[in-house]
A and B are shown apart, each in its own frame.
Chain A
Amino acid sequence: MTHDATGSRPDRGRRLARILLATLLLVAVAIGLWNAHSNADRSLAARLDSVTSGLRCPTCSGQSVADSESDLARRMRAVAAEQLAAGRTPDQVKTYFVQRYGRQVLLDPPLSGLGLVARLVPFVLLVAGGVIIARRLGRRRGILTGAVFTLGLSAVLVGTGVLGPVIRQSAYPPPTLPAGAAASPTASAQRTTGTHAALEALQSGDARTAEREARGELSSARHGSRRWQDALLVLGLAQHQLGDKQAEGTLQRFLNAAPKHPAAPMVRKLLAGG
């Protein structure tokens, strides 16, 4: 093996590094493009899930619209499905809800404070990496390689959804603060959602609505909590009013979960009376 035929050790090493780097970049770009393509071509169900899992159910505690069984979440899912089927993109559907319920409806954190810094970290690191490579390799080849490195890794990060939220944030309009009256606790106490709505529906003879509201409340309340017990009670009573065979089981489940509930004696009497 002569020196001329194979080149010097540093030359060989440099060539190997270049091949390695080029391969890495090609793989990175390919993965990025593949991910971007598969994201664009997802089914309606997958797009619906991606939209609703990023939205906060406005009447639940920390649940997404995808996870919540509350009546509002169910209706929001139906509206989102309708819009996606009509050809709107997931981002357009999210914007629709943001415009109506404020930016708080997004489960993604707003771009501010520590969250903003954290989101910018990948960008800064990417650019820093490109600059370092450019400086190491020298002017001509280095700048090109550094730029390709940055673009390649960006493609991977965007494709895998890491940088997606940062890019998407800019598409939403600025948040609008609600009127003071609208957010006041007094006003909230006067409104009808969840178990109250179910109970009122039951009192007004609308057992179907009561059952639906109670089911929604039951799924969004913490298992075993007082809210959950109340929802179970109203569900059982609604089923009883509807002549549903499940009523007895539901009410028995209520008694097992809340034997000391103020309504327990009444329920026992109801069950004893058939």
Chain B
Amino acid sequence: MRRLLITVLAVAALAGLGTTLTRALTDGDGSASGADGAQQSTGLLDRPAPSLSGPTVMGGTAALSRYRGKVVVVSIWASWCAPCRAELPVLAAAHDRYRPSQVAFLGIATRDSRSGARTMVTRTGLTGVPSILDTDGSIAIDWGATGVPETFVVDRAGRIRAHRVGAITAHWLDDAVRPLVAR
């Protein structure tokens, strides 16, 4: 009888010890990897692109679904972001260059006012690329973005195949788009 009670108590004590150990390790891991967690990238790579539609900066509406079957370059930008000011002309030039290849370009103007974004579009020559207005930044979150600019390349099947955090270059865009166009 006594043995049974001792056994029960021993098991309970061991379970308690295990629990404490688990909790201690959980807390330790959480704080240790905290700094490494900064600036993480999207988890959407090679997964279907989130749905994207809405009113555009210049008026009208745009939707990613309209470009099904095409390679689509999606750029997240804002008029208050200096790297974006440098990047958007690169994007506009790529839009012109890839027009014969049937590559579509879509923008997401995030946490921006319509007037500010409109001025930016006009200044950088991005008028040919529809940019969806994301005033509250929720679309950027839906795309797993952590800042601006960020660029995604979506393949013909609607999967994200490339992602760039920071301003793109013509070289990076070519490397990401050309293999997908050739498929």
Contact = CB atoms under 8 A, between A and B. Distances in A.
A99 B46 CA distance: 11
B138 interface: yes
Interface string B55-89: 00000000000000000000000111111100000
A66 B36 CA distance: 18
Contacts, number: 217
Contact of A187 (B3, B113, B138, B166): B166
Contacts of A21: 8
Interface residues of A, number: 77
Interface stretch (A39-47, A72-80, A258-266): A72-80
A206 B117 CA distance: 12
A125 B47 CA distance: 39
Interface string A94-127: 0000111111110111000011001101101110
A115 B39 contact: no
B44 A181 contact: no
B34 A56 contact: yes
Nearest to B142: A100
Interface of A: 10, 13-14, 16-17, 20-21, 24, 56, 58-63, 71-72, 75-76, 78-79, 82, 98-105, 107-109, 114-115, 118-119, 121-122, 124-126, 128-129, 132-133, 136-137, 149, 153, 157, 162, 165, 175-179, 181-183, 186-193, 196-197, 200-201, 203-204, 206, 209
Given A16-B1, A136-B7, 8 more contacts: A61-B38, A99-B43, A177-B45, A181-B172, A182-B163, A191-B167, A196-B82, A201-B80
